[in-house]
Amino acid sequence: MKIITRIKTMQNLTQKLRREGQRIGFVPTMGYLHDGHGSLLKACRRQNDISVLSIFVNPVQFGPQEDLQSYPRDKKNDVLLAKKENVDIIFYPSEKVMYPGRYLTYIHVDEITATLCGASRPGHFRGVATVVGKLLNIIQPHRVYFGQKDAQQCVVIRQMVQDLNIPVRVCVLPTVREKDGLALSSRNAYLTEKERQEAPALYQTLKMAEAEIRRGEQDPRRLTQMMAQFLNSRCPQGNIEYVMCVNAETLEPVKIIQGTVLLALAVRLGKARLIDNVLLRV
C-alpha cells in the first residue's frame, strides 16, 4: 500500500494506471475510519482493479463556529484499516498542498445546497463540491463511492458530476448502523454515555415515520410534526435542527407523500451534530 501526499505524484500514478487499462475506484473521506467507510472500501475493492482512499479533513467545508480543530483524527488506525480493506493507495494531502497560498476557485452547486444541512451550514456544500471536484481531477477514478448517510452530499455530487461533465460513475452505498440503529459516524466520538443512549432515537424516528407512511399517511406536515414530537420525547437532550420530507432528487419539500421521498433529520446532541435519513419509494 502506497501513501501519497503530493498532487503531481498522485496524478502521474493514476494516469499511468489508466494507460495500462486498470479500472480505478476512489473513496473520499475525512478519516477516523469506521465500518461505514469500510463498506465503501469493500465495494471499491470488489468493483475495481485499483482501490484509492483519500483522507483529508477539508477546512473549506467547516463553518467558523464548527468543529474543524476538534474533528477526530487517527492516522495510525486509519492506515491499519485501509490495509485490512486492501486499499492500494492512500492519498493523504496536507491543507497547504490542497489549498496553497493563492487559492481562489470554488464550486457552487445552486438550489439543492440551500436546504436541509445547507440551510444551517452556509458554505458547507461549496466546500464539499470544491474538494470533491479537486480530488476527482487529481485521482481521475472510473468510479467514486459515497454513503447514503450523507444523502444531500450524494445529490449535490451527482449534480456537479452531471453539470461539469466529469467522467466518473457515482456509486452510493447504504448507511451502515450500530446494532441499535445509530448510523456510524466519526462524530459519534463526541457523544457522552448518556447522549449515546439517546442517539438511536434518530433512526427510531425515521422507522416510525416509515411505518406511518406505509399505513397510509400522506401529509408531510402532519408526519414531520409527529416525528419531531417522537424525537423530542426519546432524545430530550437533543435539539432538532430540521425534520423534513423532501423529493429525493430536487430536495424540495413535498406537498404530498408520493413517489421517491427522502425523510431526513439533523439533531444537535451535546457536542455532536448528528444526521440521518431514509429513502422511501411510496
Rounded distance between C-alpha atoms, residue 116 and residue 265, angstroms? 8
Residue that is written with C-alpha cell 429525493 in the block: 248
Q: In the bound complex, which residue of the shown chain has the CB atom lying closest to ligand AMP?
A: 147
Options 30, 43, 68, 168; binder of ligand AMP; rule CB under 6 A: 30
CB-nearer residue toward ligand AMP: 136 or 173: 173
- Contact pattern from residue 127 through residue 156 relative to ligand AMP, giving x for each residue in contact according to CB under 6 A and a dash for the rest: -------------------xx-xx------
Shortest spacing between CB 177 and ligand AMP, in angstroms? 7
CB-nearer residue toward ligand AMP: 29 or 159: 29
The interface with ligand AMP within residues 171-190 (CB under 6 A) comprises 173, 175-176, 183-186
Q: Does 160 bind ligand AMP (CB under 6 A)?
A: no
8 Å CB contact between 36 and 185: yes
Count of residues engaged in binding ligand AMP, rule: CB under 6 A: 17
Residue that is written with C-alpha cell 467545508 in the block: 61
Residues 6 or more apart in contact with residue 41 via CB below 8 angstroms: 27, 51, 53, 82, 85, 87, 145
Shortest spacing between CB 173 and ligand AMP, in angstroms? 6
Shortest spacing between CB 28 and ligand AMP, in angstroms? 6
Shortest spacing between CB 128 and ligand AMP, in angstroms? 9
In angstroms, how far is the first alpha carbon of the chain from the final one?
44
Question: Residues with catalytic annotation?
Answer: 37
Pairing of strands 89-91, 2-4: parallel
Rounded distance between C-alpha atoms, residue 98 and residue 7, angstroms? 8
Pairing of strands 260-269, 272-281: antiparallel
Rounded distance between C-alpha atoms, residue 32 and residue 153, angstroms? 19
Kindly indicate which of the ranges 168-176, 192-200, 220-228, 263-271 contains the residues binding ligand AMP, using the contact rule CB under 6 A: 168-176
Shortest spacing between CB 40 and ligand AMP, in angstroms? 6
C-alpha cell at 192: 457522552
C-alpha cell at 4: 501519497
Rounded distance between C-alpha atoms, residue 98 and residue 39, angstroms? 26
- Contact pattern from residue 31 through residue 60 relative to ligand AMP, giving x for each residue in contact according to CB under 6 A and a dash for the rest: -----xx-xx--------------------
Q: Where does this chain bind ligand AMP (CB under 6 A)?
A: 29-30, 36-37, 39-40, 146-147, 149-150, 173, 175-176, 183-186
